[in-house]
Amino acid sequence: MEEKIITENWNKINPLKIDDYFSVGGYKALEKVILGKKFKEHIDEIKVSGLCGRGGAGFPTGEKIEMVFKIKDEKKFFICNLDESEPGTYKDRSIVDHNPHLLLEGIIILSLIIGAKKAFIYINGNYKKQIEILEIAIDKAKKDNFLGEKILKSKFNLEIEIFEGAGAYICGEETALINSIEGNRGEPKMRPPYPTKSGLFGKPTLINNAETIANIPWIISNGGKKYYEIGSKYSPGTKLFSIGGAISKPGVYEAPTGITLKEAIELAGGIKRGKDFWFAQVGGSSGRILTKRDLNARLDFYKNAEFPLGSGAILVVDKSTDIHDLLLSWMGFFRRESCGKCVPCREGTFRLWEIAKRLQDGEISERDEMAIQDILWTLQNTTFCPLGKFAATAFQGAVENFKDEIYKKCK
């Protein structure tokens, strides 16, 4: 079940040695792109693969690349989204920890294909270890002429800049991320126009998640069809799962899309000895709650999937956990991370956090019970960006599934 594309060489090569990456075929896909077929044919190959964005929204990657490729403009940008501030998610950082050149190779290929001479890696500034690894890798790639002027003696030039964000969850959202690089307040912008048309400094910009990018060298080397044959037919390929909580071996695991929740838990060694599965939260703090009856649910990116995968984080919760602690922790996070641009989210997350506190203290009123439903509806339907919806997801799931536990202190 553990199909390996991104993690194939983890713990086999030294991430700080570019020669180790060469020894497993590293930078061969880039050579193929520069010396071989026309870029359009590579885009078609990525479209055939069915790869869709691993940042959470699942947008078809090939189509997005094509949109930027087709625009005629002297200046275009590529951005690797490595903000990864979703609690419980650490798969993008793990790529850097284990194989930074795989990510760089993907970034270079996509930048050249769309015609960008400048690429950014946008990373949460608290991730010092990964920033250091990336700096070393970029330096080595430059020395070996995979970056900089006239890459591999071709006509292509590319510079990669690491941009350290201040560590705000909303800056992972692509338009807020662009604002942040431009030196503006990190809050989302109205779309359309989409970044593909008018992105960084108003120029066509391709933004991809780090995991999405790390699939690209494999697809170029092995072909789109081979990739399409892996995993679910709705969103083919593999997915990195960050699995934590009441399980035996917390960590990052790669598996085909469409595996069941039960299979994902087994990948991480199963439920911890002496613990009893209660529920799992899939997709980080903004994820849905899956209970025992959902253990055979398939985890997919398909837009109508019953349980969207989101960032791929799975938190396994056992019966010894106090649901009130979780509610308070979720709402504390969203209250802090709401950027404040729109009232429903700014106020709604704060009010839900206050209610979560009263629930924990057993001081809930009848008015609070009604208010919960109103606030959840408001967050789900009226906020400017998806963060508002995210803030409501887990709370809603908890109220629906564990009403007795939630209100038990109030009786």
Ligand X SMILES: Cc1cc2nc3c(=O)[nH]c(=O)nc-3n(C[C@H](O)[C@H](O)[C@H](O)COP(=O)(O)O)c2cc1C
**CB-closest chain residue to ligand SF4:** 345
CA atoms within 13 A on the CB side of 135: 8
Provide the minimum distance between the beta carbon of 381 and ligand SF4 in the complex, in angstroms, as a whole number.
12
Query: Cis omega before residue 15 (within 30°)?
Result: no
399 token code pair: 């109220």
Binding of ligand X at residue 207 (CB under 6 A)? yes
Among 209, 235, 393, 396, binds ligand X (CB under 6 A): 209
Q: How far apart are the C-alpha atoms of 124 and 80, rounded to whole Å?
A: 12
Identify which range of 71-79, 269-277, 302-310, 377-385 contacts ligand SF4 by CB under 6 A.
Answer: 377-385
Interaction mask 179-208, ligand SF4, x per CB under 6 A? --------xx--------------------
Q: Tell me: does residue 33 bind ligand SF4 (CB under 6 A).
A: no
CB contact set of 17 (below 8 Å; sequence gap of 6+): none
Q: State how far the alpha carbon of 341 is from the alpha carbons of 144, 176, 185, 189, 346, in Å.
A: 45, 11, 10, 10, 7
Stretch that binds ligand X, among 78-86, 197-205, 214-222, 363-371 (CB under 6 A): 78-86
The single residue listed with the structure tokens 């920033």 is 131
Distances from the Cα of 231 to the Cαs of 228, 238, 313, in angstroms?
Answer: 8, 6, 18
388 binds ligand SF4 (CB under 6 A): yes
Among 156, 228, 377, 384, binds ligand SF4 (CB under 6 A): 384
Binding part of the chain for ligand X, among 8-16, 271-279, 380-388, 396-404 by CB under 6 A, reads: 380-388
DSSP 216-264: HHHHHHH-HHHHHTSS-SSS-SEEEEEEEESBSS-EEEEEETT-BHHHH
Q: Is the dihedral of CA 302, 63, 253, 230 positive or negative?
A: positive
Q: Cβ 1 to ligand SF4, closest distance in Å?
A: 37
Of residues 1 and 343, the one with the C-beta less far from ligand SF4:
343
Per-residue three-class SS string for 322-356: CHHHHHHHHHHHHHHHCCCCCHHHHHHHHHHHHHH
Minimum Å distance from CB 239 to ligand SF4?
26
Smaller CB distance to ligand SF4: residue 346 or 409?
346
CB of 39 to ligand SF4, least distance (A): 35
Torsion sign (Cα): 399, 395, 326, 95: positive
Does 385 contact ligand SF4 by CB under 6 A? yes
- Selection from ligand X, ligand SF4, none that 239 binds (CB < 5 to 8 A by kind) is none
Q: Print the binding letters for residues 142-181 with ligand X: x by CB under 6 A, - otherwise.
A: ---------------------------xx-xxx-------
- Per CB under 6 A, 59 contacts ligand X: yes
**Between residues 277 and 301, which has the closer beta carbon with respect to ligand X?**
301
Binder of residue 342, out of ligand X, ligand SF4, none (CB less than 5 to 8 A by kind): ligand SF4
Query: Judged by CB under 6 A, does residue 53 bind ligand X?
Result: yes
Separation CA 170–CA 338 (nearest Å) = 7
The count of chain residues that interact with ligand SF4, using the rule CB under 6 A, is 15
d(CA 325, CA 243): 20
Q: Which is nearer to ligand X, 105 or 173 (CB)?
A: 173
- Shortest Cβ 171–ligand SF4 spacing (Å): 10
Among 57, 136, 162, 230, binds ligand X (CB under 6 A): 57
Pairing type for strands 238-245 and 313-318 reads: parallel
Residues 317-356 that bind ligand X (CB under 6 A): none
Length of the chain: 411
Q: How distant, in Å, are the alpha carbons of 42, 68, 70, 122, 408 from that of 114?
A: 11, 6, 8, 18, 57
One of 83, 105, 254, 300 touching ligand X (CB under 6 A): 83
Those residues with Cβ within 8 angstroms of residue 281's Cβ, 6 or more apart along the chain or in another chain: 88, 287, 288, 289, 290, 313, 314, 315, 317, 394, 397
Asked whether position 346 contacts ligand SF4 by CB under 6 A, the answer is: yes
Q: What is the contact surface with ligand SF4 in residues (CB under 6 A)?
A: 170, 187-188, 338-342, 345-346, 383-385, 387-388
